Structures are given as C-alpha cells and as structure tokens.
C-alpha cells in the first residue's frame, strides 16, 4: 500500500552513521567519568545549537546541488557588526535586527553572485568567504567588541527549565526547516533541482530565484547563529567562525545529504550534527590540542565524502540491476518491416481513428525567429493548430523543430514574431508561464528528475497543496497520488509504486510519466517533441494513442517526429521545416509519403508542382522503413 505522504529524493543508504554516533557515545562515556552527566549533555547541546541552525541552511543548499563555504566569514562579520550596534546603541532589538539584516544581505550577495556568475558555488563562496572575513577585521579593527547591556547578553544565556534558549531556538528552527523540506511544495522543488536542474527548469520551476532565496535564508540563519553566540559570549570578534564551515558541512554530509544534490533527510542531518557535537566534546574531554580536533574533523569529513561516493556508486549499480527490461517488444520501430500496403496507420493500429473536424484555432505562431549567436535556428515559424487536431512538425536534423517548440513553450524568447493562444497574443517569461496558459510540453531531453518518485515527477511545478490543521500550508501527497493514479489509468499506463524513483524505471516508463504529466485536465495545447524516439512498437502505439486521445478530448496537439509512419498514423496536418523556415503546411491527406520525404530532404522546390517526384517505389519503400 502506498503511503499518503511520500518522501522526496532517493533515500539515503548510509546506515553506518548512526552506529558511529552510538560507538562514540559509548567510547567517551566509558572513558570519562563526567561524560554522561546532564550538565555535559547541555554543554554539548549548547555547542551544537550553532551548528544545528547553520546545518538547516546548508542542508537546503546541498540538497539543491549548491553549497556555501562563506558561512564562517558571515559568522565573523555579522558578529562584529551586531556587537558594534549592541554596544553603541544599547538597544537590544535594534542589534538583533541589524544582525539578521546583515545575514540576509550577505546571503543575497552570495545568491546573486552564484546566479549571475554561473560558475561553481564552491568557487564563488570561497571568494566571498575571504571578503567577509576581511571585512570583519576591517569593521572591528581586528579587535573584539564588548560592553553590552545585560538585556542583550540575556538573549544568549537565558534558560527555560535549565535548557539554554539557543538550544530551544535551534530545536524549533530545525523542526520547522526539516518539516518544510519534506512536506512543502518548495521543498520538493529543491530535491528536483538537485536531481536534474534542467528538468526542474523545463517543468516550470524558477530555479535561479529559488536558489537565490535559499542563499538568503542561509544568510538569515547565520544571522541567528551570530546574534545568539555574540550575546552568549558577551563579545563580537572577527576570529569567530574559523573552520565553522568544516563543522557544518561535515555534519550535513555525514548526515546522508548527497554532495551531488537531490538526496538527504533532516533526521540524518540531526544525527550528523549530534555526531559532530559528541566528537568535539569527547576530543575536549580527551584533552587533545586544537590541531588534533581539526585533524579529526577533517578526517571525518573525508570519511563522510568517501561514504557518499560509495553510496552513490552502489545506488548507480542497484539502479542498473533494478532497471526493468522494456516490455516485450520484438519489433523496434526503426527496423520494422514495411507495411504491405504502405499504409502506416495499420502499423500502430490507429487507422480507424476518425479525423475530427477541426475546431477553433488554439495556437497561431506568426513569423517566429530565433538566433543563437551566428546560427539562425529559426527564421520564419508560421503555422497554426486547431482544437482536436494533431499537427506533426517534421524536418531534417537541425531544421529548427525543437527551437520552434521551445519558443512556444516559454523555454526561449523569440527574437521576432508573435504567438497567439485562443486568439490572444501571449508572451512567456519562462516555461511556468506557458504551463499556466495551458501549454504542456514533453521535451525531447526527458524532463524528469531521476531522484524523485513517479507521483512527485508528475506533480512537479503544479503541486497540489492543502492546509494541515487548517493553517500550515503543505504539499498534498495524497492528492498527488490520486492524481497520478487517475492520469496513468486514463492513459492505460501500468505503474503501481507511486514513490518509485523515476531513475529506476525503464526508458518507456519514464517517457510515460512525462507524457502523463502533460495530459492534464483543461490543457489547451500539448507539445510532444520526439516522444517515440527511444520506444518500441507497442510503446510507440501507446504514445500515439495518447496523443490522439488528447486531441479527441479537445486539445490541440503538436507532435514532432522523424518517423514518417508516426506522422501518417497520427497527423491531421503536417508542417515541414527546412533550415529554420516552414516550407510546407497542409492536411496530411494532401501529401504522399514520397513527397513528404522530398520536402524534408529539400529535394523538392516547394514552389514547384506538387505531387511525387523521382522513383516513387524506392522512396515509398524508404518511407515504410521510417527513414
């Protein structure tokens, strides 16, 4: 039975970590008399509260395939800035506000640099780490800042029932952060970005801004850490935060968050944080010098990264082992025998599909053009699609087919030309705008996230939501499962485990998931870019049946294909692109296989007489082979 709540991301396979934690506790407990005391437990909690708060932000970033090495620098800079305000103004809340604001600004700087520089966040934040650290020395003239009011110091030293306030704040933030990651729609998107950034983008997730926001949240959390620690210590110092990033990243990676992104669980991170806390405390009990502590933590990080690699390797191996064999399908499309009559419809059993009388114009593209540098990918994309109609776009490699549909689906903006949907001119800032307008696309480069389950892939970008206890907004996984089951069933797709990672499905099943996502209720235009390229005859027949079904339900359908039999089996109308221009656009009944091949290959001058040219028999044989 499928659970009502699905865990996003491939599950962590590192069970050894909790064991390491238990072994450490046992070892230090047995070795040192005072280790197992309430006061030492509280000291450990106090010390790890800063790591725990910072680990929330680091977890979000690493899950989404990013990282922030500058948190130590942020720690120092926020600490001295907060200390200056606390000392000079004497106003506690102003100092707290300034600390949090500084963290937010530093996070925003990181986010914008990562977004616009388009280079590894590792390098960007290595640079900002040095800048922030240097600024901390500049602001404080290299000295500690102290002399705060009691009210400010109280913030860091207050206790509720003997439990220090920073520990309570850390626990509350950790629970909220973990819950948000696992149960919110945006949390799912972080896993999606970490699993396949391109797929997340094509599905309509605003990847860039989401990542900027993550850096901002991370900076804000560092503001909380720095304010609490500065208050507790009674001073702000530029030396604080040295190697803090090492502790935090070690906790997160040790906690099972894959460094490559797309996997991890807050419970694991909690154990990672606890392990680091116990290790630090134990090393202090053992009386080891600071450098030994550094060496130990560095080694633990390397160990965690090594385990991460091994886990990744094992995962890849098990995916290969688990991958189901494609449904028995002895006749691959490309190698299929030519049909005796040359009637391609028979091949896919769609011959009886009634050609509908086309309805209203759903999409009208006029003069669409797009350049990439010096390459004119599209010069003149002009055609229309009517409700209930399947329009096949054909053309040679590089003819501009994918570019044309990427303009219509909001992936690229046109340099020239217009798009009208239901008679209204539209402009899309991104794929999500096109989806909102009612255009669903199945891209050639399968826009699925391999680390997410079937249901989560299907709802991505359009996640159902509900309010838990009437107030807390969460992703509605029960609705997601119901939606996925209905959609798959209506399309005749047999998949039972809604949480099975899509990376573990066969190519055909993966394709089914992305097609099912596109076939949502009320969709106006469905675009399928080479949906059958990697499929066998049975699966191709299914996909074409689904495309036909979408048109019969009143949507306009654009289907891009190289396979001439697919075109004749499905199309109501055919549009031929050559060198970025529409050179032919007519009902499928008005063109023969031979002529269509000629048009695609540029063997016929479109302005010349219509009708077959050349050796008809040979060309029809080629057509039947799907060349």
Ligand X SMILES: Nc1ncnc2c1ncn2[C@@H]1O[C@H](COP(=O)(O)OP(=O)(O)OP(=O)(O)O)[C@@H](O)[C@H]1O
Residues that bind ligand X (CB under 6 A): 372, 375, 377, 395, 397-403
User: Considering beta carbons, is residue 93 or 372 the nearer one to ligand X?
Assistant: 372
CB of 308 to ligand X, least distance (A): 32
User: Considering beta carbons, is residue 266 or 395 the nearer one to ligand X?
Assistant: 395
| Residue 583, C-beta contacts closer than 8 angstroms, at least 6 positions apart | 576, 577, 599, 606
First to last CA, the chain: 46
Separation between Cα atoms, residue 29 and residue 36, nearest integer Å: 6
CB of 345 to ligand X, least distance (A): 24
Separation between Cα atoms, residue 132 and residue 396, nearest integer Å: 53
CB of 524 to ligand X, least distance (A): 23
Using only C-alpha atoms, what is the Rg of the chain? Answer: 30
Element (H, E) at 155: helix 150-157
CB of 118 to ligand X, least distance (A): 14
User: Considering beta carbons, is residue 388 or 395 the nearer one to ligand X?
Assistant: 395
Lookup: tokens for 288:
């080891």
Lookup: tokens for 72:
């130590």
Separation between Cα atoms, residue 190 and residue 214, nearest integer Å: 9
Helix/strand/coil for 250: helix
CB of 404 to ligand X, least distance (A): 7
CB of 414 to ligand X, least distance (A): 13
Q: Which residue has the tokens 């691959």?
A: 332
User: Considering beta carbons, is residue 395 or 461 the nearer one to ligand X?
Assistant: 395
CB of 408 to ligand X, least distance (A): 12
CB of 67 to ligand X, least distance (A): 27
Strands (E), 345-455: 361-372, 375-386, 390-395, 416-421, 424-426, 439-442
User: Considering beta carbons, is residue 111 or 580 the nearer one to ligand X?
Assistant: 580
User: Considering beta carbons, is residue 118 or 320 the nearer one to ligand X?
Assistant: 118
CB of 441 to ligand X, least distance (A): 13
CB of 112 to ligand X, least distance (A): 24
Q: Which of 214, 212, 229, 216 minimizes the C-alpha distance to 76?
A: 229
User: Considering beta carbons, is residue 349 or 367 the nearer one to ligand X?
Assistant: 367
Is the CA virtual torsion 55, 124, 450, 510 positive or negative?
positive
User: Considering beta carbons, is residue 125 or 403 the nearer one to ligand X?
Assistant: 403
Separation between Cα atoms, residue 501 and residue 458, nearest integer Å: 12
Residue 68 near residue 58 (C-beta atoms within 8 A): yes
Class of residue 105 by CB neighbours under 10 A (exposed 0-12, middle 13-18, buried 19+): middle
CB of 395 to ligand X, least distance (A): 5
Q: Which of 399, 459, 416, 423 minimizes the C-alpha distance to 579?
A: 399
Q: Which of 75, 548, 579, 210 minimizes the C-alpha distance to 354?
A: 548
Lookup: tokens for 210:
């989401």
Q: Which of 193, 235, 223, 194 minimizes the C-alpha distance to 53?
A: 223
User: Considering beta carbons, is residue 104 or 403 the nearer one to ligand X?
Assistant: 403
User: Considering beta carbons, is residue 172 or 375 the nearer one to ligand X?
Assistant: 375
Class of residue 285 by CB neighbours under 10 A (exposed 0-12, middle 13-18, buried 19+): middle
User: Considering beta carbons, is residue 402 or 451 the nearer one to ligand X?
Assistant: 402
């Amino acid at each position: 039975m499928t659970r009502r709540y699905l865990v996003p991301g491939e599950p962590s396979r590192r069970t050894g970590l909790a064991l390491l934690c238990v072994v450490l506790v046992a070892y230090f407990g047995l070795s040192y008399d005072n280790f197992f005391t309430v006061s030492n437990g509280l000291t450990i909690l106090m010390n790890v509260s800063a790591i725990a708060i910072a680990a929330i932000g680091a977890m979000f970033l690493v899950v989404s395939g990013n990282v922030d090495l500058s948190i130590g620098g942020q720690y120092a800079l926020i600490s001295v800035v907060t200390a200056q305000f606390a000392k000079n103004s004497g106003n506690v809340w102003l100092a707290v506000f300034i600390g949090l604001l500084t963290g937010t600004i530093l996070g925003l700087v990181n986010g914008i640099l990562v977004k616009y520089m388009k280079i590894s966040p590792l390098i960007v934040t290595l640079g900002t780490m040095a800048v922030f650290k240097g600024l901390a020395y500049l602001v404080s003239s290299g000295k500690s800042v102290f002399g705060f009011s009691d009210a400010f110091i109280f913030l860091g030293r207050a206790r509720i029932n003997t439990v220090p306030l920073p520990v309570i704040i850390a626990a509350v933030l950790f629970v909220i952060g973990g819950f948000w990651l696992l149960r919110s729609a945006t949390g799912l998107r972080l896993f999606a970005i970490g699993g396949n950034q391109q797929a997340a983008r094509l599905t309509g997730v605003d990847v860039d801004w989401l990542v900027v926001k993550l850096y901002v949240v991370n900076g804000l959390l560092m503001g909380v850490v720095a304010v609490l620690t500065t208050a507790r210590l009674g001073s702000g110092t530029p030396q604080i935060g040295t190697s803090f990033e090492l502790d935090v990243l070690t906790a997160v990676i040790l906690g099972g968050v894959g460094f490559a992104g797309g996997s991890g669980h807050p419970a694991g991170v909690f154990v990672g944080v606890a392990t680091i806390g116990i290790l630090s405390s134990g090393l202090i009990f053992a009386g080891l010098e600071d450098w030994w502590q550094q060496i130990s933590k560095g080694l633990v990080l390397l160990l965690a990264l090594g385990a991460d690699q091994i886990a990744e390797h094992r995962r890849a191996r098990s995916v290969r082992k688990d991958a189901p064999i494609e449904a028995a399908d002895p006749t691959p499309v490309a190698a299929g025998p030519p049909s005796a009559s040359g009637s391609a419809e028979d091949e896919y059993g769609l011959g009886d599909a009634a050609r509908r009388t086309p309805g209203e114009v759903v999409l009208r593209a006029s003069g669409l053009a797009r350049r990439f540098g010096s390459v004119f990918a599209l010069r003149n994309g002009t055609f229309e699609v009517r409700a209930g109609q399947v329009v096949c776009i054909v053309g040679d490699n590089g003819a501009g087919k994918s570019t044309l549909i990427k303009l219509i689906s909001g992936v690229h903006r046109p340099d020239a030309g217009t798009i009208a949907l239901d008679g209204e001119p539209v402009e899309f800032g991104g794929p999500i705008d096109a989806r909102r307008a009612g255009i669903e696309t199945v891209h050639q480069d399968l826009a699925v996230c391999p680390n997410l389950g079937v249901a989560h892939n299907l709802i991505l970008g359009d996640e159902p939501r509900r309010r838990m206890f009437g107030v807390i907004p969460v992703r509605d996984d029960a609705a997601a499962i119901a939606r996925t089951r209905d959609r798959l069933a209506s399309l005749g797709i047999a998949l039972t485990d809604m949480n099975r990672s899509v990376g573990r499905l066969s190519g055909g099943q993966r394709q089914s998931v992305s097609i099912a996502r596109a076939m949502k209720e009320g969709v106006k235009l469905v675009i399928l870019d080479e949906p059958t390229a990697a499929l066998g005859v049975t699966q191709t027949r299914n996909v074409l049946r689904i495309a036909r079904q979408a048109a019969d339900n009143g949507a306009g359908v654009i289907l891009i294909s190289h396979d001439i039999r697919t075109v004749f089996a499905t199309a109501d109308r055919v549009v031929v692109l050559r060198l970025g221009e529409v050179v032919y656009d007519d009902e499928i009944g008005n063109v023969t296989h031979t002529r269509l091949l000629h048009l695609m290959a540029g063997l016929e001058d479109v302005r010349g007489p219509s009708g077959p040219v050349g050796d008809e028999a040979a060309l029809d044989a080629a057509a039947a082979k799907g060349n």
